[in-house]
Chains A and B, each alone.
Chain A
Amino acid sequence: MDEPTLIRHVANGDAAAWEPLVLAHQEAVFRLSYLLLGDPDDAEDVAQETFLRAWKHLKRFDPTRPLRPWLLSIASNLASNRRRSAGRYFAALTRAFRDEPASVTIEEKSSQHMQANDLWKAVRTLNVADQKIVYLRYFLDLSVAETAEVLQVADGTVKSRLSRALEKLRKVIQQDFPVLFEGREA
């Protein structure tokens, strides 16, 4: 059954049809939440709430449109709300910089993985709006159109915001993480 058909089933009260849709999108939703919050437990809470909230409001969703950007938009907003809690925010931030993710083994600590972690640290110095656009475009590999749908702005706005965010990120990398472009002219 394709996505629009499943969405129509759910909107008509078939809760079981929601499970394959959650399975299809849970990884992207969880990963965006994790990138924004820096804590897997918080990310899991946000991802769960995202799918519950989306289910609740699915009747208002146009089933001809792709579901993923809408889900990511909900997750992004929920993650932002959660960041407002000062204690939770600083605790997550501290953990993010203190601990390696539990699943990373010594073998996995390859140069590439460490570079990715450094890039994440660099992105986290940007403001939240800039972080979101970088995560969506480069970490989740969304297109400009999909990113625009998540952020509910025009394609042109995505391009201009992205350009500004990249400019800031390039400066952060040059100053604090030059190893990311070692051997290259950053």
Chain B
Amino acid sequence: MSEMDFETRLRSIAGEMKYPRTPDIARFVTARLQTSTRPRFNSKALAWSLTIILVLCSSLMLIPPVRAAILEFIQIGVVRIFPQPVEPTVEPIRTATPESIAPMTATSSSQASNLIPILDQMAGETTIADAQDQVKFPVLLPDYPTDLGEPDYVYVQDMDANVLILVWLDPQHPDKVLMSLHFIPNDSWAVKKVEPTVIQETSVDGQRAIWTTGPYPLILFSNDIQYTRLITGHVLIWADGDVTYRLETDMSLDETVKIAESLQSIP
């Protein structure tokens, strides 16, 4: 059967597909627009976490020294990092909040061995070549370490703008993630990190960069996106032009910077 005949046959069979009756979406949408100008959160978990954060921030803002500390965040590209407040007066509140959010958003080391099923279900799995068609920025791959090779998983996810995520598995432990690299365009939503354990400034190709070590909660501000951290390790964040890069590894700072500085356009 020729490709054209095959297509004709497919179209003919697909045309007989029985769908459930289309619900009255127009009525629901119209009612929602009449009562609110903003869509609700689909994710109850995310809405709950944002509520907790809002309450926390409101509480902390009442304490003058803490207010000063919270306003002193570091911004690299679209990523904001909030240093850990040191005032003893906030201890009871601080321990009660970000840690309670952590299990929802962060991947603990005990979960690391179960990552492969998560990777298989993450949205937007594609190939490097197709990813380049879908994003507005050049796709870069590290040529250090020399034996790294191409990523094992490639995802393009719609987060207002298309975000690219590359994942390499550990060849010695194929059930573990060795490294993940995120390309976040500036017209995507903002990412906040709350209270990383260590913050160190460094540079990547002369650009200011931030090195953080976890584990720590990662909270994303997006309509209904829930992000899963892939590695309980370190994150190097830097920006170049309109793209912010996040490189998650469990390697040393020097090694991670080497990898970041080795990024090259794909041929």
Task: Chain A residues near B7: list those with CB within 8 A.
Answer: 138, 166
- In the complex, the number of residue pairs spanning A and B with C-beta atoms less than 8 Å apart equals 151
The one of A23, A34, A181 in contact with B19, judged by C-beta atoms closer than 8 angstroms, is: A34
Q: Which of B196-239 contact A (CB under 8 A)?
A: 223-226
From A48, A116, A119, A152, B25 is in contact (CB under 8 Å) with A48
Mind listing 5 A-B residue pairs with CB under 8 Å? Answer: A81-B224, A86-B118, A116-B15, A138-B14, A153-B130
Whether A154 sits at the interface, judged by CB under 8 Å, is yes
Chain A residues contacting B225 (CB-CB under 8 Å) are 81
Enumerate chain A residues within 8 angstroms of B126, measured Cβ to Cβ.
Answer: 129
Decide if B265 is an interface residue (CB 8 Å cutoff).
no
A residues near B (Cβ < 8 Å) are 15-16, 18-19, 22-23, 26-27, 29-31, 34, 40, 43-45, 47-49, 51-53, 55-56, 77-78, 80-81, 83-86, 89, 101-104, 108, 112-113, 115-117, 119-120, 127-129, 134, 138-139, 141, 152-154, 157, 161, 163, 166, 169-170, 180-181, 184-186
A71 to B28, CA, bound (A): 17
A residues less than 8 Å from B30 (CB atoms): 15-16, 18-19, 22
State which residues 1-20 of B face A: CB under 8 Å: 1, 3, 6-7, 9-11, 13-20
Query: Are A45 and B42 touching (Cβ within 8 A)?
Result: yes
Flag if B20 contacts A119 (CB, 8 Å): no
Bound Cα distance from A180 to B13, whole angstroms:
8
Which one of B32-40, B65-73, B142-150 is at the A interface? B32-40
Given contacts A26-B25, A116-B13, A138-B14, 19 further A-B contacts (CB under 8 A): A22-B25, A23-B26, A26-B22, A43-B20, A44-B25, A49-B224, A52-B29, A77-B123, A80-B157, A81-B225, A103-B20, A104-B18, A113-B18, A119-B10, A127-B125, A128-B124, A134-B10, A170-B6, A181-B9
Assess the A166–B3 pair: CB atoms within 8 A: yes
Q: A22-B25, A49-B39, A89-B121 are in contact. Are A120 and B3 (CB under 8 A)?
A: no
Contact A31 B19 (CB under 8 A): yes
Verify A18–B6 contact, CB threshold 8 A: no
Q: Are B130 and A129 in touch, CB under 8 angstroms?
A: yes
Q: How far is the CB of B204 from chain A (nearest CB, A)?
A: 30
Point out the residues of chain B lying under 8 angstroms from A45, CB to CB: 42
In the bound assembly, the distance between CA atoms of A153 and B26 in angstroms comes to 29
CB distance from A27 to the nearest CB of B (A): 5
* Contact A138-B11, Cβ < 8 Å, known A22-B30, A47-B25, A153-B134: yes
Are A166 and B6 neighbours in the complex by a CB distance under 8 Å? yes
Contact with B23, one of A16, A30, A180, A181 (Cβ below 8 angstroms):
A30
Q: How far is the CB of B10 from chain A (nearest CB, A)?
A: 5
Q: In the complex, what residues of A have CB within 8 A of residue B38's CB?
A: 56
* Residues on B with beta carbons closer than 8 Å to the beta carbon of A52: 29, 32-33, 39
Q: B133: CB under 8 A from chain A?
A: yes
Asked if B99 is at the interface (CB within 8 A of a chain A CB), the reply is no
Number of contacting residues on B, CB 8 A?
46
* A residues near B14, Cβ cutoff 8 Å: 116, 119, 138-139, 141
Q: Are B1 and A181 in contact (CB under 8 A)?
A: yes
Q: Beta-carbon contacts of B111-130 to A below 8 Å, as 1s and 0s? A: 00000011001111110001
Q: How far is the CA of A170 from the CA of B5 in the complex (A)?
A: 12
Q: Which residues of chain B have C-beta atoms less than 8 A from A117's C-beta?
A: 17-18
- Given the known inter-chain contacts A30-B22, A81-B224, A129-B130, please indicate yes or no for A119 contacting B13, CB distance below 8 A: yes
The answer, yes or no, to whether B158 is at the interface (CB within 8 Å) is yes
Contact A83 B123 (CB under 8 A): yes
Task: Please give me the 8 A-B residue pairs with the lowest Cβ-Cβ distance, nearest first.
Answer: A77-B158, A80-B123, A22-B26, A112-B16, A116-B17, A40-B20, A26-B25, A116-B16
Kindly state whether residue B173 has any CB partner on chain A within 8 Å.
Answer: no
Q: In the complex the two chains form, is A139's CB within 8 Å of B33's CB? A: no
Residue contact B29 to A18, C-beta cutoff 8 Å: yes
